[in-house]
Amino acid sequence: MSANQAVTIVSRVLAIYFLTWFLTDLTYLPSNLHSLFHHSWLSGAQATSYWRDSDLITLSFRLLRMIALFFAVQWFYRAGPTIQSYFLSRSEDDSQSIS
């Protein structure tokens, strides 16, 4: 097995891991939306405002993480030259000790 093939396999495994994480977050999305709508439609109390804002922050960061994971899955699945150079690059110490 060549080094490029090994990097492709590792990259695809990471893509599967990120895809699983994305799908897990996707399953929590309905609960976050329900909670946000529940606290948005209640009237008046300051605690309601707190929970609405808390739900909004939770939902926002979940969506942001899902977008980042979506792009990470695509990037790692392709195993392009950037990923290959990252995993296959050698530090200066390694190259000096080999010589």
CA 86/CA 66 separation, integer angstroms? 24
Residue 97 has a pLDDT of 46
> Which pTM was predicted?
0.74
Per-residue CA distances from 64 to 24, 68, 81 (Å): 14, 6, 26
DSSP per residue over 58-88, as a string? HHHHHHHHHHHHHHHHHHHHHT-HHHHHHHH
pLDDT tens figures, 8-43:
899 999 999 999 999 999 999 999 999 988 888 776
How far apart CA 60 and CA 20 sit, in angstroms, is 20
Looking at residue 38, its amino acid is H
